[in-house]
Structure formats: structure tokens, C-alpha cells
Structure 1
């Protein structure tokens, strides 16, 4: 079977947190002042990998809990590991901070360009209120969206991807029309490939030698396409449009 080209698709389904929104920067911006207040010294990589380890535990035992609802629990677990007194107000503040997490510098312009070629669909483990804020940060680029609270379970569950197919089928979109685009092998690329989706891996941590704040996958799937940034993705699309 011949590999499809980027011109073969009419719909891009996007992971949001980590692919379009720089969640690692958002996490660091929130935790650095907290650690300073408690005179706790942790390097950035320690903060990110501890976050990933705590998230992985909740993905395993509570996959129906939106990522947004996991954030206060992750904060409490991280505080306990670092022997910091966890405060309920801080747990809520960490959850709410998702509304101000920044976009990657290349995201907004890339989405604007990609929107001239494809239908754009958000597929996120966050719930609807969080996506509303993140979408505004991104310039409200999405034609459709699927949130965790809508599906009732998180990625990497195959239920999310099957729900996406059912929802988009009502718009006349087939699996063959969809290119699932994401940075997380754990949440997105591995399960999407197992279900027969074509994928674009945006390797945001290219060259960094670790998975950062994303849980480590049991395996690395070979994506259909690979880019090191959204800007790189756009360049590849533009080359195939010539």
C-alpha cells in the first residue's frame, strides 16, 4: 500500500495540550514561584518528569477523569513527594492556570495557514471550559472539537478515537480523510496508529532526549509523517501543494 501524501487528507484532528499549547512552559511558570516560596530547589526537568509520572498514575487508575480535573491531584502528589504542604487554594489555582498556558510561538500562524487547506478539529483530554480558553489563545481556529467530558474517557483510550470517527462521520468525514496530529506518543500517536489512523507526529521535544512532562510510552510508533514543529509541518504541506 502506497503511503498517502499530505494532500490526501481534508481534516486534521489535533491534540491541543502539548502540541499547540506549551503546557510544559505553563507548568514551569506556575511551579517555579511555588518552589521558591517553600525554599525547595528543583530543576525544570525534575518538575516536568515528576508531573509526567503523577499524570501517568491517574491515566492508569482514573481514565475517565478529564486532564483538567487531574491537575489538582497531580499538584497534591507532587507537593507530597517534595514534602511541601499542599493547599486547597493552590490546587485550584494550578487547575485554573491552564486557561493562561501559552501557545507555542509557531502555533497560531501555522493553524491559520493549515486552516486554508484542511478542516481543523480539536481532540483534547481537557474539558470544555478549558478548551474554550485555550482555543481563544490559539485564535479560535477549530471547526469542530471533541473534549474529555464529552466522550467520558481520556486518550489514550481507543474510545476517544472511535468517538471522533462517529462525530466526524456525521459531517461526511471518513477515517481516510483524517490526519491525527499530536506531540504525545503516549496519548495519541501509538493508540491512533493501532486503530489505523494516519498520523503526524509533532516532535516538540526533538533532540532533548526525554519525554518531559508527557508520560513515557511503552513503545514508540512510527508515524505516517513526522515534523519537529508546527512550522515544519506547514513547510511540508506547502511543498506538497506546489
Structure 2
């Protein structure tokens, strides 16, 4: 499917972690340290997948809690699922590991390329004190930064998307959303009428029933071409 370039976008919105910031590498290192400290025999990759898909993701749909608390609580649940002893302080610094995550190698150059042509915004299932580190590492190029702390709701709830559109004063039809998550971004951005570019860094298969994005790319380098900035 050819990406629809009209009407010309006024606003580019981004999922932050996994799209612009390599949180996966940072959190995997953190989880590996936890497993080592607990002397668990489970492979780090198995524990990580269990933590994210069985505990962290489902918590997004539960009663709202700040993301640092969600990280800690979901880690506790994952540890218990592997029979580990859980101490009250376990996971206190999980949010710090997320705050320390660095941009992907293609992120900063890409943002500087598109910033002169579009307004930029972030829509993130994070909290303000975590994402402030990411925004600084990306040279403060974003006019709008919307976190779950702003709305007390997590994507895929539409509140975050609706808030950035309201603050920018633009309709969804002139907004392009650029995101890596088929779990929390695509299910909302596409039905809301945002043209959506899926940054499929991990070569995932689109799950049945997930709204189809308007373009799929392995990283950010091809986005300027899709938007018509380069040939």
C-alpha cells in the first residue's frame, strides 16, 4: 500500500521507547542483573519475555499507577512466577534503568532532518521524570510530550492521542504517528485516523486483528522518503 502523503502532515507524533529510545537493551541489562542477584536459573531472555508480556503489558489495562510503580509491581509478579523471594526494595531502581536508556543510532540524525518541516510530539506510556531524560538526549526537539502521567491512562487508551491533538490544535487527518508497538499504538492511532508508520525494529509479524499501518519500515532512516522529504 502506498503511503498517502495528502493532506500534508502538520504534526509527527512518536512512541518514544522502542521507536526512538532503545529501552529494550537497557531493560534487558537490568533484568539480567536482577536474575543474577536472585541466583535464578531461568535464561534472562525467557524471564524478560515473561515479565513484559505476562505482567507489564496486562497491567496497562488495570487500575492506573505511575510507570515506576508499574515497573516495580510487574517485576515482583514476574519474580514470584519463577519462585524467587521478593523483597520490598526489589525494582526500586527499575525506572532509573529506563531513564538511562539511550537513543537508537538513527534517532538524533532523523529528528534533526524532520524537525524543520513538521511539529514534533511524543505520546508515551511513561512518566514525566523518566521521559525528561530521553527528551534531553534527543536535543529537546519536541513541542509536545504527553505521558500516561498526564492522562492517568495508558495506551492503547485514546486519551493520550486525543490530548496531543487538542494541545497541537490539529486533526488526526494531518497527523502522522510513528511507532514500534503493535500492542499499544497501532490499535488506537489507525482507527483515530492518524496515518501510521510502523517501525518494526524486531521483525515482528502483525498479529491478527491489529489495524494495518500505512507503512512498515525496519528503522527510522526510510521515514523521510515516505513523507516525501527525500527520493
What TM-score do you get using the length of structure 1 for normalisation? 0.85
Structure with the higher fraction of residues in helix conformation: 1
Decide whether aligned partners of structure 1 residues 87 and 101 sit closer, same or farther in structure 2, where only a CA change above 3 A counts.
Answer: farther
Tell me the distance in 2 between the aligned counterparts of 1:107 and 1:21: 8
2:106–2:220: 8 Å Cα contact kept in structure 1? yes
Unaligned runs of 5+ in 1: 212-216
Q: Where does residue 197 of structure 1 map in the other structure?
A: 194
Q: Where does residue 30 of structure 2 map in the other structure?
A: 30
Tell me the distance in 2 between the aligned counterparts of 1:106 and 1:227: 13
Q: Where does residue 123 of structure 2 map in the other structure?
A: 123
Decide whether aligned partners of structure 1 residues 42 and 229 sit closer, same or farther in structure 2, where only a CA change above 3 A counts.
Answer: farther
Tell me the distance in 2 between the aligned counterparts of 1:114 and 1:66: 31
Correspondence for 2:222 among 228, 232, 236:
232
Tell me the distance in 2 between the aligned counterparts of 1:3 and 1:102: 30
Tell me the distance in 1 between the aligned counterparts of 2:205 and 2:85: 29
Q: Can you list the C-alpha shifts for 1:43-81, whole angstroms capped at 9, x where unaligned?
A: 35313321222112212222x334333101111011111
Decide whether aligned partners of structure 1 residues 109 and 53 sit closer, same or farther in structure 2, where only a CA change above 3 A counts.
Answer: same
Q: Where does residue 90 of structure 2 map in the other structure?
A: 90
1:66–1:153: 8 Å Cα contact kept in structure 2? no
Q: Where does residue 145 of structure 1 map in the other structure?
A: 145
Decide whether aligned partners of structure 1 residues 91 and 57 sit closer, same or farther in structure 2, where only a CA change above 3 A counts.
Answer: same
What TM-score do you get using the length of structure 2 for normalisation? 0.89
Correspondence for 1:187 among 181, 184, 197:
184
Count of residues in Structure 1 that have an aligned counterpart in Structure 2? 229
2:92 aligns to what SS in structure 1? helix
1:7–1:240: 8 Å Cα contact kept in structure 2? no
Decide whether aligned partners of structure 1 residues 210 and 75 sit closer, same or farther in structure 2, where only a CA change above 3 A counts.
Answer: farther
Tell me the distance in 1 between the aligned counterparts of 2:114 and 2:44: 32
C-alpha RMSD of the superposition: 2.3
Q: Can you list the C-alpha shifts for 1:89-116, whole angstroms capped at 9, x where unaligned?
A: 3321112221102221211211111212
Q: Where does residue 55 of structure 2 map in the other structure?
A: 54
Unaligned runs of 5+ in 2: none
Tell me the distance in 1 between the aligned counterparts of 2:217 and 2:4: 16
Q: Where does residue 214 of structure 1 map in the other structure?
A: none
- Runs of 4+ displaced beyond 6 Å: none
